[in-house]
């Protein structure tokens, strides 16, 4: 398998990587072209550009100056914050970006053209599969503090999804709470999943001395569902629980969350009698962990 991945890497970087740079940079240096592309039709704060392209602020400033000099970009102070500056494409810059867009299409077309219709279908299908699985593999799971902005945004998204999906809506105040302190070692822990730095999922554990651990806050962003991320989070939580000497994991869930329920069943959880009085729960599950 490793050999296959290496062969793939070689073929693809030769065919796609080499070409795409050459196609994208028309006359203009690659750095400028990338920047032009990243600014986008609606403009973008310089700060955002810096983090997205991971550039040194001095270097980025100089790149912007050269694009400005060529009449492709204007940079003005942002209204909201006088320190921040916003880069916007001029009419000329927009045309240039459209040209890059066209070239990107040309590159894709040049790959498809030599193939028969059947081969094109097979290629794009396989590309979609590779893309999805590479995305899945790029998701990183790390334990993080409940007060971390990434964790906060996941939990927030989780609550608002529950509010949408539960028949009766969802108000965190009525539910059994899991405070920051309860999800912070050694009382518990919280895992955050990130894709290219953006939070895309979470899962938490409440540990109870000698008693079963509780799994909470299992959530996966809609954009990355179907990539096995829920399963990965669950497996990781179980492993952490087992590492703390816990032998049983427990959780409760609402009947509206069908995918979650089938995940728990598939992962070896069996339904048990209610072990708490969570008002939003319809099902209670339990699993014995192997040390």
Q: Is 43 in the site for DNA (CB under 7 A)?
A: no
For the beta carbon of residue 276, count every other beta carbon within 10 angstroms: 10
Extract the tokens encoding 92: 């000329």
Residue in 20, 40, 52, 61 binding DNA, rule: CB under 7 A: 61
| From a copy of itself, DNA, none, interface partner of 7 (C-beta below 5 to 8 A by class) | a copy of itself
| From a copy of itself, DNA, none, interface partner of 46 (C-beta below 5 to 8 A by class) | DNA
Pairing of strands 44-45, 85-89: antiparallel
Extract the tokens encoding 71: 């009449």
Pairing of strands 248-253, 211-220: parallel
The residues pairing with 215 across neighbouring beta strands, listed in sequence order, are 205
CB of 181 to DNA, least distance (A): 21
| From a copy of itself, DNA, none, interface partner of 85 (C-beta below 5 to 8 A by class) | DNA
Complex with DNA: residue 85 or 152, whichever CB lies closer? 85
Give the count of residues interacting with DNA (CB under 7 A): 24
Q: Is 81 in the site for DNA (CB under 7 A)?
A: yes
User: How big is the CA angle at 78 (ends 72 and 83), to the nearest 5 degrees?
Assistant: 110
Contact 229, 194 (CB under 8 A): no
Handedness of CA 121, 122, 123, 126 (dihedral sign): positive
DSSP summary character for residue 171: -
Complex with DNA: residue 73 or 191, whichever CB lies closer? 73
Q: Is 197 in the site for DNA (CB under 7 A)?
A: no
How many CA atoms lie within 13 Å of 234's alpha carbon, on the beta-carbon side? 23
Question: Which parts of 140-179 interact with DNA (CB under 7 A)?
Answer: none
Q: Which residues bind a copy of itself (CB under 8 A)?
A: 1-9, 11-17, 20, 104-105, 107-109, 111-116, 119-120, 122-124, 126-131, 133-139, 196, 228, 231-232
Residue in 10, 18, 26, 29 binding DNA, rule: CB under 7 A: 29
Complex with DNA: residue 58 or 197, whichever CB lies closer? 58
Residue in 37, 70, 85, 236 binding DNA, rule: CB under 7 A: 85
CB of 29 to a copy of itself, least distance (A): 17
Contact 36, 96 (CB under 8 A): yes
Q: Is 55 in the site for DNA (CB under 7 A)?
A: yes
CA distance 110 to 121: 15
CA distance 206 to 214: 5
Q: Residues in the site for DNA, rule: CB under 7 A?
A: 29-32, 45-47, 50, 55-62, 64-65, 75, 81-85
């Amino acid at each position: 398998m490793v050999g296959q991945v290496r062969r793939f890497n070689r073929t693809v970087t030769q065919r796609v990587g080499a070409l795409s740079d050459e196609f994208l940079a028309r006359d203009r240096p690659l750095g400028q072209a990338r920047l032009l592309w990243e600014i986008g039709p609606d403009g973008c704060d310089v700060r955002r550009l810096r983090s997205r392209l991971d550039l040194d602020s001095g270097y980025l400033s100089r790149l912007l100056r050269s694009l400005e000099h060529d009449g492709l970009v204007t940079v003005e102070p942002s209204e909201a914050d006088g320190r921040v500056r916003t880069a916007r494409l001029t009419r000329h810059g927009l045309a240039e970006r459209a040209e890059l867009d066209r070239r990107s299409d040309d590159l894709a077309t040049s790959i498809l053209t030599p193939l028969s219709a059947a081969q094109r279908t097979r290629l794009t299908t396989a590309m979609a599969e590779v893309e999805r699985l590479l995305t899945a593999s790029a998701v990183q799971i790390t334990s993080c503090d409940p007060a971390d902005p990434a964790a906060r945004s996941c939990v927030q998204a989780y609550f608002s999804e529950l509010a949408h999906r539960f028949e009766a809506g969802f108000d965190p105040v009525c539910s059994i709470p899991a405070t920051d302190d309860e999800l912070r070692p050694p009382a518990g822990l919280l895992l955050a999943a990130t894709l290219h730095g953006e939070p895309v999922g979470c899962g938490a554990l409440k540990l109870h001395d000698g008693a079963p651990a509780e799994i909470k806050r299992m959530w996966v962003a809609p954009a990355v569902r179907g990539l096995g991320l829920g399963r990965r989070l669950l497996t990781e939580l179980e492993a952490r629980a087992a590492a703390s000497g816990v032998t049983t994991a427990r959780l409760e869930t609402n009947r509206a969350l069908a995918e979650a329920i089938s995940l728990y069943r598939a992962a070896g959880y069996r339904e048990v009698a209610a072990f708490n009085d969570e008002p939003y729960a319809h099902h209670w599950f339990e699993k014995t962990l192997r040390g």
